[in-house]
A and B are shown apart, each in its own frame.
Chain A
Amino acid sequence: MPRLQTAADLEKLRTEILAARDPAKSCIAVCAGAACDGMDSAAVAAAFVAEAGKLGDKIEVRPTGCHGYCEKGPNVVVTPGDICYFEVQPTDVPEIIAATLQGEVVERLVYKDPNTGAKAVHMHEVPFYKHQMRLLIGDNPKIDPMRIDDYLAVGGYAALVKALTEMTPEQVLDEVKKANLRGRGGGGFPAGSKWETTRNAPEKTKYVIVNGHEGESAAFMDRAMLTGNPHKVLEGLIIGAYAIGAQKGFMYTRHDMPLLEKHVRQALAQAKEYGLLGKNILGSGFDFECELHFDVGIFVSGESSALMRSIEGNPPEPRPKYIRTSVSGIWDKPSNLNNVETWANVPQIITRGAEWFTSIGSEKSKGTKLISLSGNVVNSGVVEVPMGTPLRTLVFDIGGGVRDGKTLKAIHFGGAMGGSIPADLIDAPLDFDGMSKLGAPIGAGGLLLMDEDTDMVEVARYLMDFLTQESCGKCVPCREGMQQMLHILTRLTEGEGKAGDLERLEDLVEVTGAASLCALGKTSGDPLKSMFRYFKPEYEARISDQAAGGSAAK
């Protein structure tokens, strides 16, 4: 493939790719997302390739990233028609191929409502998908992440063309600011303002970074996005770099996901080959390159300043942020870091405009949000809904409620530094500020359901145990404060609670929160705060029970 010299070259290539494709030709998309891959979807894909191979060129088989409905993997989607098959085994393959050739459906493999038995054949009828708005993740079944042509076929890099040929960097920045795109990594900070700070920083050398670390336990939407559609994230990054005036980008992601690494490497190589990275991109005069970096297995390296230390080749210890990383980051140069999902939102804002984007979502949180739905839920998976969607929709309409017929006790958001709210707050809307006020900030978007059997003291102990292992140890309040909290919580769960324990915990939460260097320590007590707010009787029972000589530990 010769390097594309101009925007017109790219559009010509896109026309050629589309012309060579027959939309009526059947295509079987086999999910290779984290859960499906774990259920050996690779064997299913191999069976499809072998079986379809016997037919010559009649049916295309496409390995793809995460479709979303992880609970029912391995997932298979047949187009045209978006026919969804669930829990597909290699032995089902000949039947699916035969039915596809006949234009028929394999009834036994389609969705069946567990209560009514009603079947749903097409994606838009399956309850899990029906209530979603899949602007970001929706392309995943249409794309083989190893092929840039698949991304071009769904309109990929059109936003980059528009930004480079029709817009000045200032206009791109303005559009993102007007869209009020807020950071999806946890803070909800406006991306446009952050970009502007880096853009206005006096240094000439600037960097942009994709934070694809996703160390939060039970969060898996970023890797679904980045593994399944790496070019969308890259396109957002290149557009951002253009607006900010950065010459170099870094993708920082997990080292322990072989497919993720493979897809991102390939995406970067293909983008370079096509001339979407490198010197004079599409003849615009804009130069940009991007390097891939990996975390080395510690949670705190997802914190922005720690992540930047890690890219420099140093241990990932956070630093105080008197000066923001957007002014002084990697090698003390202005460095703008955004999360995978934030970058993935950029292309559509450029293509469809800020006005369109702000028409979706709640008053202060715009667009859609990717959610990792898991825990004691019937339908776990990657979900995308407009901001402002009531939690009830997520939990019941999409999630199908609580597993094993149990009742919902709590909803936990935001992983180890998030919070839990009781089931009666289920009508709260998914909104950055609203959820923060309730004490369960959205964080990166991991939503866990906890059923009636959940021991909330044990949950807090578990989360604290996780954080103590992940602290970098640099600052004392975090290192020691969390140890002490863990110590007390462990005692409580083991039936050794003492009078004064809860007051001591409250003290520790406050001091650790006020005195720690980075967000890990600062928010380490957040789950406990939410517990004390909503589930305090459970904690008090541990003290009084034990004072009376009984044990409340399960």
Chain B
Amino acid sequence: MSKMCEKEIDSIIEKYRGQPGSLIHALVEIQHENHWLPREVMHKVAEALEVPFARVMQIASFYKTFSLTPKGRHEVHVCTGMTCHLRGAARLQSKVEELTGLKDGETDAESRFTFATGACLGSCSIGPELIVDGKHYGRMTPEKVEDVLKRYE
């Protein structure tokens, strides 16, 4: 966690101080900012929002959006929604797994990539899709994947 992020996180927590009902809001904002939820940050949230730490953990471990471990520099997603599935997402997923050596949900030792499947972002018309750091690569084929991933170091 950089100093910059720490400041941002503190200001998010301050915004919701004393508002237990805003727990999810606070955690989502921190997740967006920092890409994962370190334990000490969750302690801070618990204290400021006046909710038990166990509840913070309950929420943070329940929703898929939250990550309790650091993520790689780049987040690689393959959409496995129905249309992408019908249009060949499984082959795309195997190729990404082969190239990165990662299974769904894993991060590599050099923290380059975190790989995750997910559904569905609603851009079904351009499926199957590879999404890297929020950028969509539509109508993706296993052959084209390597070229795309090379752009991310």
Which residues from chain A sit less than 8 Å from chain B, CB to CB?
Answer: 34-35, 37-40, 70-71, 73, 214, 216-220, 223-224, 255-258, 293-294, 296-298, 310, 312-313, 315, 372, 374-376, 380-381, 412, 415-416, 446, 448, 450, 454, 462-463, 466, 472
Contact = CB atoms under 8 A, between A and B. Distances in A.
Given A218-B83, A298-B64, A70 B125 contact: yes
Contacts of B129: 38
What are the 3 tightest A-B residue pairs by CB atom distance, in nearest-first order?
A220-B122, A38-B136, A70-B125
B86 A454 contact: yes
Contacts of B125: 35, 70-71, 73, 374, 380-381
Nearest to B22: A313
B65 A255 contact: yes
A454 B127 CA distance: 17
27 contacts: A34-B122, A35-B138, A37-B136, A38-B121, A38-B136, A39-B138, A73-B126, A217-B120, A218-B82, A218-B124, A255-B28, A256-B65, A257-B121, A293-B25, A294-B24, A294-B28, A296-B65, A298-B63, A310-B24, A312-B21, A313-B22, A313-B23, A372-B122, A375-B82, A376-B87, A381-B125, A450-B86
B24 A376 contact: no
Contacts of A454: 86
A231 to B, nearest CB: 20
Interface residues of B, number: 34
Given A35-B138, A218-B124, A374-B124, A315 B83 contact: no
A310 B25 CA distance: 10
B119 A217 contact: yes
A70 B126 contact: yes
A312 B20 CA distance: 9
A315 B138 contact: no
Contacts of B85: 462
B123 interface: yes
Given A256-B121, A466-B119, A297 B65 contact: yes
Contact of B28 (A37, A70, A296, A374): A296
Nearest to B83: A374
Interface string B57-69: 0110011111000
Nearest to A310: B24
A310 B21 CA distance: 10
B2 to A, nearest CB: 22
Given A296-B66, A312-B21, A313-B22, A218 B81 contact: yes
B66 to A, nearest CB: 7
Contact of B82 (A37, A40, A256, A448): A448
Contacts of B23: 313
Contacts of A381: 125
Max count, chain A CB within 10 A of own CB: residue among B82, B125, B129, B138: B125
Interface of B: 20-25, 27-28, 58-59, 62-66, 81-83, 85-87, 119-127, 129, 134, 136, 138
B35 to A, nearest CB: 14
Max count, chain A CB within 10 A of own CB: residue among B25, B28, B119, B124: B124
Contacts of B66: 296
B82 A217 contact: yes
Nearest to A224: B122
Max count, chain B CB within 10 A of own CB: residue among A35, A223, A380, A463: A35
B138 A70 contact: no
Given A38-B136, A38-B138, A258-B134, A372 B59 contact: no
A531 to B, nearest CB: 15
B81 A39 contact: no
A472 B85 CA distance: 23
A315 B59 CA distance: 6
B54 to A, nearest CB: 12
Contacts of B21: 312-313
A372 B64 contact: no
A380 B126 CA distance: 9
A466 B120 CA distance: 11
Max count, chain B CB within 10 A of own CB: residue among A219, A297, A412: A297
A378 to B, nearest CB: 11
Contacts of A380: 83, 124-125
A296 B126 CA distance: 24
B119 A297 contact: no
Nearest to A376: B86
Contacts of B120: 216-220
A448 B87 CA distance: 11
Nearest to B24: A313
Contacts of A73: 125-126
B124 A415 contact: no
A432 to B, nearest CB: 21
A34 B121 contact: yes
A118 B119 CA distance: 37
A35 B28 contact: no
A70 B64 contact: no
Given A298-B63, A374-B83, A448-B86, A315 B122 contact: no
